Amino acid sequence: MDSKKKKEEDTKKSEIFASCSFSALGLHSTLCNQLQERLGFEAPTLVQAQAIPVILSGRHALVNAATGTGKTVAYLAPIIHHLQSYTPKIDRDNGTFALVLVPTRELCLQVYEILQKLLHRFHWIVPGYIMGGENRSKEKARLRKGISILVATPGRLLDHLKNTASFVHTNLRWIIFDEADRILELGFGKEIEDILDLLGSRQIGSVGKGNQVSSLPIFQRQNLLLSATLNEKVNHLAKISLENPVTIGLDDKKIQPEQSVDCIGTVESDEDDGLEYRKVTTSSTGDYKLPAQLVQRYVKVPCGSRLAVLFSIIKHLFEREASRKIVVFFSTCDAVDFHYALLSEFRWSPNSQSEAENTERFLKCNILRLHGSMKQEDRRTTFQAFKTEKSALLLSTDVAARGLDFPKVRCIIQYDSPGEATEYVHRVGRTARLGEKGDSLLFLQPIEVDYLQDLEKHGVSLTEYPILKVLGSFPLYGQVYRAKKFASLDLHPWVLYLQRALESFILAEPSMNKLAQNAFCSWVRAYTAHRGELKRIFMVKKLHLGHVSRSFGLKQQPSLVGQSFQTQSKKRKREGKQKGLSRKRKANRKT
Ligand SMILES: Nc1ncnc2c1ncn2[C@@H]1O[C@H](COP(=O)(O)OP(=O)(O)OP(=O)(O)O)[C@@H](O)[C@H]1O
């Protein structure tokens, strides 16, 4: 390696990793060995170097650091450090000492897997998880046996707190909210407050709640909140769950002690022992932290050409580099199902003269899908598969947007726009993790480009993707159509031919046609669900439903599809009433 390259590498490393070792942070040597041997971590990341000593000290903490910077180990390592040091050694009868609350099932499994690795040499500390979609009786049995560090989704945890008498949590010392803002966005606010009440952890001061196992010391509660993005709701949660917390990772732009206008709930600490104690005011217009090496672009596509352009870009990316991982985000489960079926089955050879010659799969890559309406077992299989695959395309709802750590994802495509800027940040955060390369591409219709200004307000700026150049790389009947000739994507021959082929393919397959109609309906519903300021940008009134139909490869008149939209929406409402759907679930239905 030449010296310039080495210097660059060193600079890059120093922007991610601290110059100290894990043991210098005060962690037990066996744990440091586990970090190295089981996880391959040589040195702590910057956020770990900041957070571990604070968390070891027992202080409550609010940790705000960019996606993929190692927040998980930042809280797990200090907990394990403490638990392994207790004498007498803890055992399963002592019940749960640490509770990690996460928004999704996949994140639950991910944290659990890391715990398993870290606890390899501490067999007396038992990790476990409970989450929606799993068998309650089996979970009850596991809780009865005792779980020292429990990872949970909030709804299921509350269920067990209320209904599982054998769940021992009298020794609880830590409550961690990982992806705190997402937990709240999903509408779990009430559950969280109930959980804090049931655990006697609201407003703290609840040190040593009476029933501790007598041989163990009385523990001071320590609560931790972590997220790459903060919002008003997190401030509220911080207020009701953290006592005199230390804030880690909040940069100066976000910390404006004198400003109170945007401050909703101030987390304050007036102690000064050399650690970073600050008054925090997170403003809703503050900027978000994104990995510096992430290349962010947008592509402006007229609605009717969206489908053809998406297919072309994915094809282009895999043809340029066959071995790569890409995630495409959609707004609804139905949209994922439709695009999954179509991308997997669509056959078209751009140079064939007749339909009979269209035997070749348009996309040859491995395609996976993930969303909240899938069976738990299928979700688990996809999650594991995408982790281990070297090359694959994952189509997903926002269920994959938070916290998931899929190695080596090179590109994130946001086909349906994310809505809140926080969601944008977390979606793109699935790539460019821990200093790795990463690209992101946001699809926008010409009527939606004001969204770029909304992102700008949060310090997120994107450049335009050279779509005409990409389309120009596809020969059609031996001819290459050069970029400059086509002012609009709609008129590009490649797009026109591909769109026609997609529409014929869908029309010929009744099941595909049905999937397309369902996807269309739920897409329109999701579009109408944009909130607040964003309603001004994503205005359903501005949509041309005929063009939206085209974007699902449908030739039908929008009014026909519109009828089925109404029927479906009535049906869902009826079902919702029958099931007594909570506000939370309604908010959650997109994922
Ligand atoms: N000290 C370290 N050395 C090397 N790799 C690390 C280190 N700490 C974490 N990692 C790796 O970095 C990646 C990101 O870590 P993690 O998932 O904890 O990030 P995060 O900050 O929680 O991200 P997000 O905000 O998306 O949830 C993981 O693959 C993890 O294994």
Residue 22 alpha carbon, nearest atom of ligand 1 = 1
DSSP string, 402-458: SS---TTEEEEEESS--SSHHHHHHHHTTSSGGG--EEEEEEE-GGGTHHHHHHHHT
User: Are 209 and 200 within 8 A, CB to CB?
Assistant: yes
Our separate counts of H helices and E strands in the chain read: 22, 16
Q: Could you tell which of 151, 433, 440 is best to mutate to test the pocket of ligand 1, judged by most ligand atoms within 8 Å of the CB?
A: 433
User: Which residues are CB-contacts of 239 (< 8 A; sequence separation ≥ 6)?
Assistant: 265, 266, 267
Q: Is the distance from the beta carbon of residue 247 to the nearest atom of ligand 1 less than 6 Å?
A: no
Per-residue confidence (pLDDT) for residue 348, from 0 to 100 = 87
Per-residue confidence (pLDDT) for residue 477, from 0 to 100 = 67
- In the 8-state DSSP scheme, what is residue 187? I
Q: How far apart are CA 51 and CA 382, in angstroms?
A: 32
The end-to-end CA distance of the chain, in Å, is 46
- In the numeric block, the tokens 């709930």 are attached to 265
Per-residue confidence (pLDDT) for residue 411, from 0 to 100 = 97
Q: Whose CA is nearest to atom 15 of ligand 1?
A: 70
Q: Is the distance from the beta carbon of residue 249 to the nearest atom of ligand 1 less than 6 Å?
A: no
| 453-182-238-277 Cα dihedral, nearest 10 degrees | -60
Q: Is the distance from the beta carbon of residue 70 to the nearest atom of ligand 1 less than 6 Å?
A: yes
Q: Is the distance from the beta carbon of residue 290 to the nearest atom of ligand 1 less than 6 Å?
A: no
User: Are 178 and 111 within 8 A, CB to CB?
Assistant: yes
Q: Is the distance from the beta carbon of residue 182 to the nearest atom of ligand 1 less than 6 Å?
A: no
Whole-structure pTM value: 0.83
Q: Is the distance from the beta carbon of residue 429 to the nearest atom of ligand 1 less than 6 Å?
A: yes
Q: How far apart are CA 553 and CA 342, in angstroms?
A: 10
Q: Is the distance from the beta carbon of residue 517 to the nearest atom of ligand 1 less than 6 Å?
A: no
Q: Is the dihedral of CA 10, 12, 13, 15 positive or negative?
A: positive
Q: How far apart are CA 573 and CA 142, in angstroms?
A: 37
User: Are 288 and 458 within 8 A, CB to CB?
Assistant: yes
Two tokens, residue 582 = 């909570």
**What is the helix (H) or strand (E) element at residue 479, kind and residue range?**
strand 479-480
How many other CB atoms are found less than 10 A from the CB of residue 46? 18
SS3 284: coil
How far is residue 16 from each of residues 43, 66, 75, 294, 408, measured CA to CA in Å?
10, 11, 17, 14, 17
Rg of the chain over CA atoms, in angstroms? 25
Per-residue confidence (pLDDT) for residue 271, from 0 to 100 = 26
- ipTM comes to 0.99
Q: Is the distance from the beta carbon of residue 50 to the nearest atom of ligand 1 less than 6 Å?
A: no
Per-residue confidence (pLDDT) for residue 260, from 0 to 100 = 26
Q: Is the distance from the beta carbon of residue 438 to the nearest atom of ligand 1 less than 6 Å?
A: no
Two tokens, residue 481 = 């159509």
Per-residue confidence (pLDDT) for residue 214, from 0 to 100 = 46
Report mean pLDDT in 10-residue bins for the chain, 591 residues.
72 85 97 96 96 96 92 98 95 97 95 97 97 94 97 96 96 94 86 91 48 52 90 84 87 36 24 28 52 94 96 94 91 97 91 66 93 93 94 95 92 94 93 93 96 92 93 76 67 92 94 94 91 88 92 73 46 46 39 55
Q: Whose CA is nearest to atom 4 of ligand 1?
A: 41
- In the numeric block, the tokens 């009385």 are attached to 218
